[in-house]
Chains A and B, each alone.
Chain A
Amino acid sequence: DGGITQSPKYLFRKEGQNVTLSCEQNLNHDAMYWYRQDPGQGLRLIYYSQIVNDFQKGDIAEGYSVSREKKESFPLTVTSAQKNPTAFYLCASTPSAGRNTIYFGEGSWLTVV
């Protein structure tokens, strides 16, 4: 079945470390997105990519970095510059055309210890 796979589901990071969250989709979607969700809050956009080798900052990009070397992959790196990284991270994708329904992965929990 087609879908979006995020890994790991749970990740612990020590302060000062960089960590990378994986996002892979086999839906042949052109656009991919990363959102952050804090407890009891809505989703906030970190980065998005409309095509391979191109990506744009969202609303809260500081302290994060991404790459889009392949259509199916959009990894997110949480750097040590992100002062409060503990959150739930969601990856999403949309087709290049059509009804543009947003498809989400199951999310990754990142905790700083």
Chain B
Amino acid sequence: DAKTTQPTSMDCAEGRAANLPCNHSTISGNEYVYWYRQIHSQGPQYIIHGLKNNETNEMASLIITEDRKSSTLILPHATLRDTAVYYCIVRFPGNSGGYQKVTFGTGTKLQVIP
């Protein structure tokens, strides 16, 4: 799996959009970008994933650059409950070809400020 690079921490004012960047310059052509978040002392929660097109769901939007070397997770209206560590990972879909090791780095600690 390709490695990812994220800022260690970010602040965002409550009600504003939170934009969390992720670099994945060594991503291969069929690897997907996944985002998870982890609230303290809980298991990581799936947020969104994408291949090359921008994606949106009820939680967030994912913007992937045309060269796929970076992406941005957007929380459109951050709330205090969005304070968490956000992880960006890349991996293949499915289990064909055997196990794909998944590496979770230290992620970005997002602090939403009242």
Q: Which of A75-113 contact B (CB under 8 A)?
A: 88, 90, 92, 94-107, 109
Neighbouring B residues of A21 by C-beta, 8 Å? none
Which of A12-20, A40-48, A64-72 sits within the interface? Answer: A40-48
Q: How many Å from the CB of B83 to the closest CB on chain A?
A: 15
Neighbouring A residues of B96 by C-beta, 8 Å? 97
State the CA gap A34–B59 with chains docked (Å): 27
Q: How many Å from the CB of A97 to the closest CB on chain B?
A: 5
Neighbouring B residues of A102 by C-beta, 8 Å? 34, 36, 44, 46, 102
Q: Which of B76-109 contact A (CB under 8 A)?
A: 87, 91-96, 98-99, 101-107
Q: In the complex, which range does the number of interface residues on chain A fall in?
A: 20 to 34
A-B contact count (CB 8 A): 64
Q: How many Å from the CB of B97 to the closest CB on chain A?
A: 11
Docked-complex contact B43 and A105, CB < 8 angstroms: yes
Neighbouring A residues of B42 by C-beta, 8 Å? 106-107
Q: In the complex, which range does the number of interface residues on chain B fall in?
A: 20 to 34
Docked-complex contact B92 and A42, CB < 8 angstroms: no
Q: Which of A1-48 contact B (CB under 8 A)?
A: 4, 6, 30-31, 35, 40-43, 45, 48
B interface vs A, CB < 8 Å?
32, 34, 36, 41-46, 49, 87, 91-96, 98-99, 101-107
